[in-house]
């Protein structure tokens, strides 16, 4: 299997500095030959790759990450979503709920460090395995389906005080967007945000750019890439660019928004975070250094910033 990343795939330019895996060469050849025969056949094969996350081996530390959490399931499609709840130390009042949304090829247990940090800070924390991820059902998923899953979990465990979302999960949360605490619809209509706190980590700013990185990785012919973009628009009933966080930011439904993105992110260019920050008035943008795309989720300094921001 070739290298993959959140939002489906390695930045193609980074591969230019590395030997190209034989498996990737074969896939490129297969897609090129399919495209010569039929754009439709090549599109179907490329779309299947684009929407199929790998089930990564479970790491040793993941069992400890969910130890003590209550596991529960929510019916979803023909299967179920697996979710976890970490309860704050006993308090006289119900603690605020924080929902954690993982990225592509991750799962709830990847949030272990932050979940424990927030639990100790007095929050009730909920995380879940997205469709086709972790222990949840499914083999393939899309951004809209992932968003539907977020909506289901939020509606089930709400009201939600804050959401922390990483990469693909952040794109689904804010790019669709998901609507939180919808029982407060009248307040929302009156201009009051329904989600007090939103934290975004390592986000893709441009949806078309995600497709272009994927197309560059697989050397897809332009006609196949165009077919993929057209498919997204047909299925979603809206322009591809409208899913971009630079276009679909929480202008009114989120109160305070924090964006953290590493300058050396090897998956999502730092420039996309800068574009998001410029497009969202009032957003609190805090670049990090030396954490890359994933370590930002468990860095102690980042965890402290998130906890303070959620207050």
Report residue 278 as tokens. Answer: 């410029």
pTM: 0.92
Between CA 311 and CA 306 the distance in angstroms is: 9
Same domain, residue pair 212 and 298: no
Domain boundary among 191, 220, 243: 243
Same domain, residue pair 41 and 123: no
Same domain, residue pair 39 and 75: no
Model confidence pLDDT, tens digit, residues 186-197: 555 566 789 999
In a domain, 3, yes or no: no
Q: Which one, of 228, 283, 229, 279, lies nearest residue 42 by Cα?
A: 228
- Sign, CA torsion 191/194/197/200: negative
In a domain, 17, yes or no: no
Same domain, residue pair 111 and 226: no
Same domain, residue pair 98 and 226: no
Same domain, residue pair 112 and 166: yes
| 3-state SS class at 183 | helix
Specify the pLDDT at position 185.
54
Same domain, residue pair 105 and 226: no
Beta strands in the chain (DSSP E): 70-76, 79-86, 97-101, 124-128, 162-166, 195-201, 254-262, 284-288
Same domain, residue pair 134 and 115: yes
Same domain, residue pair 238 and 257: no
Q: Which one, of 121, 86, 101, lies nearest residue 199 by Cα?
A: 101
Same domain, residue pair 165 and 149: yes
In a domain, 1, yes or no: no
pLDDT tens, position by position, for the chain (311 residues)? 233 444 444 334 344 445 788 989 999 999 999 999 999 999 999 999 999 999 989 998 999 999 999 999 999 999 999 999 999 776 667 899 999 999 999 999 999 999 999 999 999 999 999 999 999 999 999 999 999 999 999 999 989 999 999 999 999 999 999 999 987 555 555 667 899 999 999 999 999 999 999 999 999 999 999 999 999 999 999 999 999 999 976 778 999 999 999 999 999 999 999 999 999 989 999 999 999 999 999 999 999 999 999 99
In a domain, 12, yes or no: no
Same domain, residue pair 183 and 257: yes
Between CA 301 and CA 284 the distance in angstroms is: 16
In a domain, 5, yes or no: no
| 3-state SS class at 78 | coil
In a domain, 169, yes or no: yes
Specify the pLDDT at position 178.
94
Between CA 55 and CA 52 the distance in angstroms is: 9
Specify the pLDDT at position 7.
41
Q: Which residues of 255-288 are buried (b: 16+ CB within 10 A; e: fewer)?
A: bbbbbbbbeebebbbeebbebbbebbeebebeeb
DSSP 266-288: SSS-HHHHHHHHHHSTT-EEEEE
Specify the pLDDT at position 180.
95
Model confidence pLDDT, tens digit, residues 29-54: 999 999 999 999 999 999 999 999 99
In a domain, 36, yes or no: yes
Domain boundary among 219, 243, 267: 243
Q: How many domains does the chain have?
A: 2
User: ∠ CA(25), CA(217), CA(276), 5° rounding?
Assistant: 165
Domain interval for residue 219: 23-52+207-243
In a domain, 63, yes or no: no
Same domain, residue pair 44 and 124: no
Specify the pLDDT at position 15.
40
């Amino acid at each position: 299997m070739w290298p993959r990343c959140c939002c489906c795939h390695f930045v193609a330019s980074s591969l230019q500095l590395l030997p190209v895996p034989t498996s990737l060469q074969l896939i490129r050849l297969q897609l090129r030959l399919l495209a010569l025969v039929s754009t439709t056949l090549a599109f179907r094969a490329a779309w299947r790759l684009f929407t199929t996350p790998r089930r990564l081996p479970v790491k040793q530390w993941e069992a400890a990450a969910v130890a003590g959490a209550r596991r529960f399931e929510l019916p979803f499609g023909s299967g179920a979503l697996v979710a976890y709840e970490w309860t704050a130390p006993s308090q006289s009042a119900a603690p605020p709920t924080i929902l954690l949304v993982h990225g592509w090829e991750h799962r709830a247990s990847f949030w272990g460090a932050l979940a424990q940090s927030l639990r100790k800070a007095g929050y009730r924390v909920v995380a879940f395995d997205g469709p086709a991820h972790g222990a949840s059902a499914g083999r393939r998923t899309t951004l809209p389906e992932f968003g539907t899953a977020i909506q289901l979990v939020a509606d089930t465990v709400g009201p939600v005080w804050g959401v922390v979302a990483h990469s693909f999960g952040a794109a689904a949360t804010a790019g669709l967007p998901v609507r939180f605490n919808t029982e407060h619809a009248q307040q929302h209509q009156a201009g009051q945000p329904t989600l007090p706190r939103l934290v975004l980590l390592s986000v893709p700013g441009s949806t078309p750019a995600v497709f272009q990185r994927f197309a560059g990785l697989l050397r897809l012919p332009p006609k196949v890439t165009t077919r993929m973009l057209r498919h997204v628009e047909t299925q979603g009933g809206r322009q591809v660019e409208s899913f971009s966080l630079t276009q679909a930011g929480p202008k009114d439904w989120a109160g305070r928004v924090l964006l953290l993105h590493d300058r050396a992110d090897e998956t999502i260019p730092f420039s996309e975070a800068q574009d998001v920050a410029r497009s969202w008035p009032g957003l609190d943008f805090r670049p990090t250094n030396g954490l890359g795309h994933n370590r930002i989720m468990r860095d102690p300094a980042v965890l402290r910033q998130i906890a303070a921001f959620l207050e």
